[in-house]
Amino acid sequence: MRTVRVDTGKPYDICIERGILDKCGEYAKALSKAEKVTIISDSNVAPLYMDRVKNSLEKEGFKVATHIFKAGEEQKHLGSIAEMYNTLAKFSMTRKDIVVALGGGVVGDMAGFAAASYLRGIDFIQIPTSLLSQVDSSVGGKTGVDLPQGKNLVGAFHQPIAVLIDPDTLKTLTDDYICDGMGEVIKYGCIKDEKLFENLENQNALEHIEDIIEICVSIKRDVVNRDEKEAGERKLLNFGHTLGHAIEKIYNFKGISHGMAVAIGMVLITKAGEKHGITEKGTADKICALCKKYGLPTTDKSTFEQMAQAAKGDKKTAGSSIDLVLLTKIGDSFTKKVELANLCDFITT
């Protein structure tokens, strides 16, 4: 078993172990005085893993309810949260009870937000089952939903009490979503870890996925420990996301997945960085080649005008400027303020 400790205001462990799904009851018992647990999952993950998680919790004496919603980013909205509140209230969940998020990033972000807001905040455990959620979204406490106006525009910082990662669940994930998760893995190499980037180039990451998961969550842990609420350094985790989220919005959150959009966003913003003499020449080509190696797209038909317009509502906008995340070279990232009026020119290559 590998353990990564997160030292936020409320510290917790990220535990990585094959088969940990069947021990989640023991973890919950050790961490909480809850009597009731509501497991929130989606329509793809629940048939695969709900029974194992429920049995493990019941074995430890918890009363368990389940809430299953239709899988997909299109469901990541406030209407789905209202349905979760309904389940939590009907089951008379109290402040000492807990939510378990069993699924990918959509489940984790929404179940986390329901837990952050129900009764003004109850505890929750993340059991991430997609690659993207195991390397990124289950850690750090960002929870929330999309609005038609933009990605993740409503939410709360609410740290889980534990993150239980079972890499065996990746055996049932489709190849497309394995590729998708690699978008965030490549991001970690780009912003903080040149060695990780080179390993991804020279080896097949999927052959040593537990190492990759541990490296990514450790990088994220270090950043979140220093800047839990994204006052500064945490913005670097948004590399590729300003344009990626803009593209997701242009598509109305359908037909393009998060990791794919981030891959395109990383390539485009790095090309812009090179155009402005900020980023070492050849960096965008390296990112492009790596994204292609892991089956990710690197271009989109959206115009720079459309992307700039959609990006203006990003949470990194303050007043008349936006903080863009750029690279000087692979492994070295920083933020740069750009006037919204100049955003389209800045990103156009």
Ligand X SMILES: NC(=O)c1ccc[n+]([C@@H]2O[C@H](COP(=O)([O-])OP(=O)(O)OC[C@H]3O[C@@H](n4cnc5c(N)ncnc54)[C@H](O)[C@@H]3O)[C@@H](O)[C@H]2O)c1
Ligand Y SMILES: O=C(O)C(=O)C[C@@H](O)[C@H](O)[C@H](O)COP(=O)(O)O
Annotated binding site: 105-109, 129-130, 142, 151, 169-172, 184, 241, 258
CB of 282 to ligand X, least distance (A): 28
CB of 109 to ligand Y, least distance (A): 7
Number of residues that bind ligand Y (CB under 6 A): 11
Task: Identify residues 223-262 at the interface with ligand X (CB under 6 A).
Answer: 257-258
Q: Is 308 in the site for ligand X (CB under 6 A)?
A: no
Distance CA 144, CA 198 (A): 33
| Under 8 Å between Cβ of 296 and 263 | yes
Task: Identify residues 163-222 at the interface with ligand X (CB under 6 A).
Answer: 169, 172-173, 177, 180
Per-residue binder mask for ligand Y (CB under 6 A), 150-169, x = binder:
--x-----------------
**CB under 5 to 8 A by kind: which of ligand X, ligand Y, none does 238 bind?**
ligand Y
Binding window for ligand X (CB under 6 A); candidates: 37-45, 192-200, 205-213, 329-337: 37-45
**CB under 5 to 8 A by kind: which of ligand Y, ligand X, none does 189 bind?**
none
CB of 319 to ligand X, least distance (A): 25
User: What residue ranges bind ligand X (CB under 6 A)?
Assistant: 42, 44-45, 48, 71, 73, 76, 103-107, 109, 129-130, 132-133, 136-137, 140, 142, 152, 169, 172-173, 177, 180, 257-258
